[in-house]
Structure 1
Amino acid sequence: MPSHQFADRPAPQPPERDAVDALINRTRRLRGDVDAVRRDTTVIDEDDPQLRWQRALCELAVHQLDDLGEHLGQLRDGIPAQPAADPAPEATRRAPAGPPAAGSLLSKVGTAEWNLLTDEVTWSDELYRIFGRSREAGGLSLDDLPSVLLGEDQPLLTSMVTDCLVDGRPIDGEFRILLPDGTMRTLHMMGEPVLDSDGCTASMWAVLRDVSRLRRGQHIVGRTRDSLRHRECMAQAEHRVAVELQEAVLPAWRGSLPLPGRGAGGLDVAAHYLPSGSSDLIGGDWYDALRLPDGRTMLTVGDLTGHGIPATSAMAMLLGALRGLAVAGIEPGAVMGHLNQLIECSAQPALGSAVCCRFDPATGTLAWAQAGHPAPLLFRNGSGRPLPAPDGVLLGAASGVAYEQDQVALLPGDVLMLHTDGLTRRSSRSAGPEGPEALLGLAPRFAQARTAQDCVRTVVEEFGANERLDDACVLVARVGA
């Protein structure tokens, strides 16, 4: 039934058919492009909220483009003609034609008119199907219509109808109805008053559209978006806690360590932590230098698998244990064995690598052990080399293993570098050597450095801007000349 303000107003003419056909073709092409993107997202990880949100947006866009195409098709073809009234008695009238094809616009849009003078209710066949009512039951009057709505939506419909009939305002709103089988549908209602020749309201005309699928799609988009935002907030909170925990555990000096006796034979120590270039999560890397009660110095770096709070909390546990064992005078090889046992007994087993050194300034001797970790690099007289590594497997990889210990004599002016393997591990887009070779190339610059902090600054300048795959630590100890 055409929309009109006056009962004798002529029906509007459809627009030019060629122009609408062009719009339909463009909509179909766009729909095909969006559908291709949607198909690409059907094999995604269901546990990833961001990808679920992207797929839901594609689903919603496809549904909306389907509706747009159907709207344009109806605009091109004009309003379908209503069948002429059959003069035969109601019992002998022909059965209405079968329902429109599933998904067609006609199956989701119906019209209604409520005559205020005769109380006659006129519904289209489509509207009966939308409400799940038989034609024999008749259309609902304006008084009965709120009875099929959800309770919280009834005041909205009452207000819209009152504004239309009393104040002549057009209707534009949504409400939800319950079908006899308990199914809920969301309807979008647009209507206006029909005035007689005297300008008085004679009836109310409306178009009702079933937008349930559209609203479900929007609900899925909103739900996945909220899930994504929640996940981002949780990740930010975890990152903040992990950073605070790391800052509380790693040495407070965060640069050059003030050690007594840094003259001839003493140590000048500096260190730096470099975050990952590809992840916002803090890893389990650590560094430490500790002056022991007997005058010797403990140096260590290490790396635990994982990121976030679990990795940083496990790192805090291991570093605390390592400090206690070193202060108790335990040899580096035995320290590695105790740390391995500690990981085995922990509630959340992990894998880790570490190197532990103990330097005696009285003899210039460095005793050290490692657990699956890159060997320390020794720089002397403008060249560098890795120290021969004693045997030692990753922490947490095997039970009851013994870790060998080795020692090397350090000379005044020597530079010792301890690092985690993430320092030189580059992404596929980064060029240049990796591993110890990349660090050994810094030997000439280290020979010119006057302090350990100068050496660390050189490392950061060389590798700090790289797009690393993991976070890293570097510790430099320079023997006083």
Structure 2
Amino acid sequence: MPPHLSADRPAGRPPGHGSVDALISQTRRLKGDVDAVRRDAHSDGTDPGERWQRALYDLALHQLNDLDEHLAQLRDGPPPVPHAVAEPEPGPAVRAEPGTPPSGSLLSRVGSAEWNLLTDEASWSGELYRILGRDPAAPALTLDELPSLVFDEDRPMLTAMVTDCLVDAKPIDGEFRVVRPDGSVRTVHMMGEPVLDVEGSTASMWAVLRDVSELRRHRRTVRETRDSLQRHRQQARTEHRFAVELQEAVLPTWRGSLQLPRRGRGALDVAARHLPSGTGTFLGGDWYDALELSDGETLLGVGDLTGHGVTVTSGMAMLLGAVRGMAMTGTRPAQLLSWLNQLLDATVQPALGSALCCRYRPATRTLEWAQAGHPAPLLFRDGTGCALTSPDGVLLGATPRATYGQAEVTLEPGDLLLLHTDGLVSAKSGPRSVNRLLDLAPRFGAARTAQDCMRTLVEEFGESGREDEACVLVARVTS
């Protein structure tokens, strides 16, 4: 027999990281070797030592089958949650005793027993006494007395296994829970066979009993974590679907360009897009809006609430509704942002957000605008572009009584305004990101419509693959 491993005799080099398939192959080869040795260990069933060895071979194969299954799950990922009957809840916490495998260990105790049906004698190994918490000086329990240790709901199964073994010579292979004298509960796996006399009648029954409490606890932990992961994934899918539906319900959904206002000179040709992030898993609070107001002016705006998920999307919907409502009452951009800031500060779940709000007066082609921690509008005129000078404005929700400045600019026919959220360009690019947008001025100048300009933007920055989602809006002043 080879010597035991020790500190100065290390184990063989383990497979490389990630080689789960190699571990599976090794496990299956070992199963084949164990099964071959078991078949070579000839036994007529009369020698207790040979029966013990054969039983241990069977137990080893059971363990290797479990290991093969667990490694396959590790390679393939969590399986779908099956519709299965739940296992019985565990009993009271097991109290440790000398010799008990440490918590978290998969080591099992294995004991043996034989019941002589002719003499009504029972013989137990010392380990079986320890498994069942019995005094080794006490007599072994008979088959009739054994069920007294077993949970009430598990007794019918034990009785059926023993009856099938004694009457029909069927092997025993099953589990039941026992209550030890100290009140602790253990799960026992029992395997056994009948021993026949020369006339073929059952003379006795032998069994190997294994304490599998820790093994079952670990299996239960694996199942519970798998189910928890399944529920988490299902919840994430549900929240994502709800967030998408909510976003689609509140963001404007016009196709192509929109003429605002619909009549009169100096109108705006408007196009807008929501561009998803590279993963597309979580939706944030990015929004855009373009709306003809009751006084004939036009509302333009973009903004972003920090965070991701359905809560942020719901906050975005509330914010966008408030913007539209206040704009309809004639509220100017600076005052509108001030009230939005108070609204965010008063919500149950405070949030931070940036926003850019504009009111366009077509009769004079005047644009009033204010910003709250947001990139300024970009103005393109005669083949060149520039960022407008931003008035003062802090992030929405940053401070309760913030005030916001307001700026005004007169536009000319053919001018193009570009409003966008931070996710359009990488934050790592810094000033270069703005330059990339401004470099599009010649292409914008050659475009015929706002929708053509939007196609140019998407071609340059991509419809997806960015770090974060983005909203972009372009408005072109018609003659």
Instruction: Report the equivalent of 2:356.
Output: 355
| SS, match of residue 112 in structure 2 | strand
Per-residue Cα deviation, 1:65-113 (whole angstroms, up to 9, x for no partner): xxx9xx99x99xx96999xxxxxxxxxxxxxxx9868569997001111
Against the structure 1 CA distance between its residues 254 and 159, is the aligned structure 2 distance closer, same or farther, given a 3 Å change threshold?
farther
Check conservation: 2:174, 2:190, Cα contact below 8 A: yes
Decide whether aligned partners of structure 1 residues 99 and 398 sit closer, same or farther in structure 2, where only a CA change above 3 A counts. Answer: closer
- Deviation per residue, 1:385-442 (Å, 9 max, x gap): 111111111111123222111111212222111110011126x8xx998632232232
Going from structure 1 to structure 2, the CA distance change for 1:173 and 1:133 (only over 3 Å counts) comes to same
Matched, 1:370 2:368: no
Matching residue's letter, 2:300: L
On the 8 A contact 1:100/1:106 being kept in 2, the answer is: no
Partner of 2:448: 450
Once residues 246 and 446 of structure 2 are traced to their aligned partners in structure 1, the CA distance between those partners, rounded to angstroms, is 36
CA contact (8 A) 2:259 2:268 kept: no
Q: 1:408: which partner in 2?
A: 409
Q: Does 1:210 align with 2:208?
A: no
AA matched with 1:171: I
| Correspondence 1:278-317 to 2 at 5 A | 278=279, 280-317=281-318
**Change in 2 beyond 3 A, CA 1:152/1:392:** same
Residue 294 to residue 283, structure 1, CA distance change in 2 (3 Å):
same
Mapped partners of 2:50, 2:204: distance in 1:
22
Q: What CA deviation, in whole Å up to 9, does each residue of 1:122-146 have, x standing for no partner?
A: 1100000000001222222111111
2:327 corresponds to which letter in structure 1? A
Give the whole-Å Cα distance in 1 for the aligned partners of 2:50 and 2:110: 12
Aligned AA for 2:469?
D
Partner of 1:323: 324
Partner of 2:478: 480
CA distance, structure 1, for counterparts of residue 329 and residue 98 of structure 2: 86
What TM-score do you get using the length of structure 1 for normalisation? 0.77
Q: 1:132 to 1:28 in 2, by over 3 A?
A: farther
- Per-residue deviation, 1:465: 4.7
Corresponding residue SS for 1:218: helix
Alignment-mate amino acid for residue 446 of structure 1: F
Query: Following the alignment from structure 2 to structure 1, what is the Cα–Cα distance between the partners of residues 426 and 436?
Result: 10
Q: Is the alpha carbon distance of 1:112 and 1:254 closer, same or farther for their aligned partners in structure 2, counting shifts above 3 Å?
A: farther
The CA distance in 1 between the partners of 2:50 and 2:168, in whole Å, is: 31
On the 8 A contact 1:106/1:126 being kept in 2, the answer is no
Alpha-carbon distance in 2 for matches of 1:244, 1:468: 22
**Hey, what's the Cα distance between the residues in 1 that align with 2:360 and 2:107?**
86
How far, CA to CA, are the matches of 1:254 and 1:151 in structure 2?
69
Find the residue that maps to 1:367 and give its secondary structure: strand
Identify the residue that residue 146 of structure 1 maps to in structure 2: 147
Deviation at 1:163, TM superposition (A): 1.2
Structure 2, unmatched stretches of 5+, are 19-23, 39-47, 53-96
2:43 maps to what in 1? none
> Are the counterparts in 2 of residues 350 and 396 from structure 1 also a CA contact under 8 Å?
yes
2:460 paired residue among 459, 462, 476: 462
Separation (CA, whole Å) in 1 of partners of 2:393 and 2:11: 65
TM superposition shift of 1:370: 0.4
Question: Where does residue 199 of structure 1 map in the other structure?
Answer: 200
Is the contact made by 1:286 and 1:473 (CA closer than 8 Å) also made in structure 2?
yes
- Alpha carbons of structure 1 residues 105 and 261: separation in structure 2 relative to 1, 3 Å: closer
Cα distance, 1:355 vs. partner?
A: 0.4
Q: Name the counterpart of 2:75.
A: none
The CA distance in 2 between the partners of 1:187 and 1:406, in whole Å, is 79
How far apart are 1:284 and its partner, in Å? 1.0
Residues 439, 139 of structure 1: alpha-carbon distance in 2 compared, 3 angstrom cutoff: farther
Distance 1:451 1:343, change over 3 A: same
Paired position in structure 2 for 1:225:
226
Amino acid at match of 1:353: S
Q: Which moved more, 1:333-342 or 1:123-132?
A: 333-342
| Stretch moving more, 449-458 or 185-194 | 449-458
Q: For residues 349-398 of structure 1, give each alpha carbon's deviation from its aligned partner in whole angstroms, at most 9, with x where no partner exists.
A: 11110001111121111111100000111122222211111111111112
Structure 2-normalised TM-score? 0.77
Alignment of 1:127-142 (within 5 A): 127-142=128-143
**How high is the sequence identity, in percent, across the aligned residues?**
60
3-state secondary structure, aligned to 1:350: coil
Residue type at the aligned position of 2:441: A
2:177 maps to 1:179:
no
Matched position secondary structure for 1:303? strand
Whole-angstrom distance in 2 between the partners of 1:99 and 1:297: 81
Instruction: Tell me, yes or no, if the aligned pair for 1:425 and 1:434 is still in contact at 8 Å.
Output: no
- Taking the TM superposition and a 5 Å limit, the aligned residue runs for 1:81-160 are 102=101, 108-160=109-161
Cα gap change, 1:458 to 1:263, in 2 (>3 Å): farther
Task: Tell me if the contact between 1:424 and 1:434 (Cα under 8 Å) persists in the aligned partners.
Answer: no
CA distance in 2: counterparts of 1:438 and 1:81, whole angstroms: 80
SS at match of 2:137: helix
Task: Write out per-residue CA displacement over residues 169-195 of structure 1, whole angstroms, 9 at most, x where no aligned residue.
Answer: 111111111111111111111111111
CA distance in 1, matches of 2:407, 2:228: 53
Count of aligned pairs: 407
Which 4+ stretches in 1 moved above 4 angstroms? 27-30, 78-82, 98-107, 260-264, 431-434
Structure 1 residues 155 and 219, CA gap change in structure 2 (3 angstroms): same
- With over 3 angstroms needed to count, the CA separation of the structure-2 counterparts of 1:406 and 1:380, relative to structure 1, is same
Tell me by how many angstroms 1:149 deviates: 1.2
Deviations 1:150-181 (A, max 9, x none): 12211111111111111111111111111111
**Structure 1 residue 201, shift from structure 2 partner:** 1.0
Corresponding position of 1:332 = 333
Q: Secondary structure at the match of 1:136?
A: coil
